[in-house]
């Protein structure tokens, strides 16, 4: 049995590797050789996933070629900005499962980029999945989506454990982009928390944010049922409300006038907001929460300005 490569040793990559190691051997690839040696020696990722022991069946390496040896597919679990370079270094006959919840540098889908680079077996993984909980084996569910149903089922078999229920889908666009947009809404939810605007405001924000997700995803060909599934509504609720959410915490920090960085950890929603705002402007779509977050994170509006502009929009029916 070949080892499953998990490419990226941040919190999410480590959690997926620990989960998959319950089914068989896993090779966790870390970009920095010194970091890989630390993980292999200490058997814990104290920097990104403290308190979770790396099981015996999980091997750590800094050699990319060694990580993917004899493997039919690999989980790509680096931040979205690092995905293009990593894909460029991989053989095109390797199946790739894209686990980053972000966009390509041009604002397009990472799955589209992968196919443009010549990969034929491509899948995306998304859902309400906090690394801190999955690494500890707490119950969770996720979705793996691919145009290739057989490939999706292979990934499902590799990742399904008593603690992680894995569903399949053929709506690649819906699953991938739901994970992208919910990060921006979660930043907005953090702004609400940081400004102490209350539960009514946060509930309204999440609900209207779901409408924006539906507008964006269906415009790009996603199915509406995906928007209201695990990778849409499910992920939005988790990311907008959890204490584990980097995006929510970043919004809260901005509202307090603090820097949103968290020890060098990537906050995908901060970058994504600007890309989605540009897309909406270019294509004539109305994404007011996205627009507010983009202006606030660029320092063009204060958090209070963003709230005021959302509240003062023209009156309209709820469904239109």
Note if 182 is an active site residue.
yes
Q: Is 279 annotated to bind ligand? A: no
Q: Is 246 annotated to bind ligand? A: yes
123 close to 99: Cβ distance less than 8 angstroms? no
190 close to 171: Cβ distance less than 8 angstroms? no
Instruction: From residue 123, give the alpha-carbon distance in Å to each of 30, 137, 149, 224, 309.
Output: 21, 23, 10, 19, 38
2 close to 70: Cβ distance less than 8 angstroms? yes
User: Which position has the token pair 């460029």?
Assistant: 88
Say how far apart CA 135 and CA 130 lie, in whole Å. 9
Q: Is 247 annotated to bind ligand? A: yes
- Among residues 182, 202, 248, 295, the one annotated as catalytic is 182
Q: Is 192 annotated to bind ligand? A: no
Say how far apart CA 22 and CA 258 lie, in whole Å. 40
Q: Using N-to-C axis directions, what is the helix angle for 11-20 and 149-159, rounded to 10°?
A: 80
User: Which position has the token pair 């068989």?
Assistant: 24
Q: Is 31 annotated to bind ligand? A: yes
Q: Is 228 annotated to bind ligand? A: no
279 close to 269: Cβ distance less than 8 angstroms? no
Q: Is 48 annotated to bind ligand? A: yes
Q: Is 9 annotated to bind ligand? A: yes
Q: Is 221 annotated to bind ligand? A: no
Q: Is 284 annotated to bind ligand? A: no
Q: Is 131 annotated to bind ligand? A: yes
Structure-token pair, residue 23 = 């089914």
Say how far apart CA 50 and CA 10 lie, in whole Å. 11
Q: Is 11 annotated to bind ligand? A: yes
Binding site residues for substrate, as ranges? 101, 246-247
Q: Mind telling me the catalytic residues?
A: 182
Binding site residues for sn-glycerol 3-phosphate, as ranges? 101, 127, 182, 235, 245-247
Binding site residues for NAD(+), as ranges? 8-13, 131, 246, 265
Binding site residues for NADPH, as ranges? 12, 31-32, 48, 101, 131, 246, 266, 268
């Amino acid at each position: 049995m070949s080892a499953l490569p998990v490419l990226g040793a941040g919190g999410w990559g480590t959690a997926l590797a620990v989960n998959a190691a319950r089914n068989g051997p896993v090779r966790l690839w870390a970009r920095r050789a010194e970091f890989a040696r630390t993980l292999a020696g200490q058997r814990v990722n104290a920097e990104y996933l403290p308190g979770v022991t790396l099981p015996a069946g999980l091997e750590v390496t800094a050699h990319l070629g060694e990580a993917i040896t004899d493997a039919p597919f690999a989980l790509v679990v680096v931040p979205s900005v690092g995905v293009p370079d990593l894909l460029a270094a991989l053989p095109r006959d390797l199946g790739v499962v894209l686990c980053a919840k972000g966009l390509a540098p041009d604002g397009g889908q990472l799955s589209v980029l992968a196919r443009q680079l010549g990969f034929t077996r491509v899948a995306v993984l998304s859902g309400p999945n906090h690394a801190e909980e999955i690494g500890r084996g707490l119950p969770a569910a996720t979705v793996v989506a691919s145009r290739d149903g057989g490939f999706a089922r292979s990934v499902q078999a590799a990742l399904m454990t008593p603690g992680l229920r894995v569903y399949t889908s053929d709506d690649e666009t819906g699953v991938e982009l739901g994970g992208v947009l919910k990060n921006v809404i979660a930043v907005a939810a953090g702004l609400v928390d940081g400004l102490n605007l209350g539960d009514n405001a946060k509930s309204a924000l999440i609900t209207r944010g779901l409408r924006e997700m539906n507008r964006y995803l269906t415009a790009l060909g996603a199915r509406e049922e995906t928007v209201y599934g695990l990778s849409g509504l499910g992920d939005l609720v988790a990311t907008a409300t959890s204490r584990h959410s980097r995006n929510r915490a970043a919004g809260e920090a901005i509202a307090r006038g603090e820097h949103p960085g968290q020890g060098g950890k990537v906050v995908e929603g901060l970058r994504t907001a600007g890309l989605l705002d540009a897309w909406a402007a270019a294509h004539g779509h109305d994404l007011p929460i996205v627009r507010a977050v983009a202006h606030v994170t660029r320092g063009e509006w204060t958090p209070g300005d963003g709230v005021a502009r959302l509240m003062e929009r023209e009156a309209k029916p709820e469904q239109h």
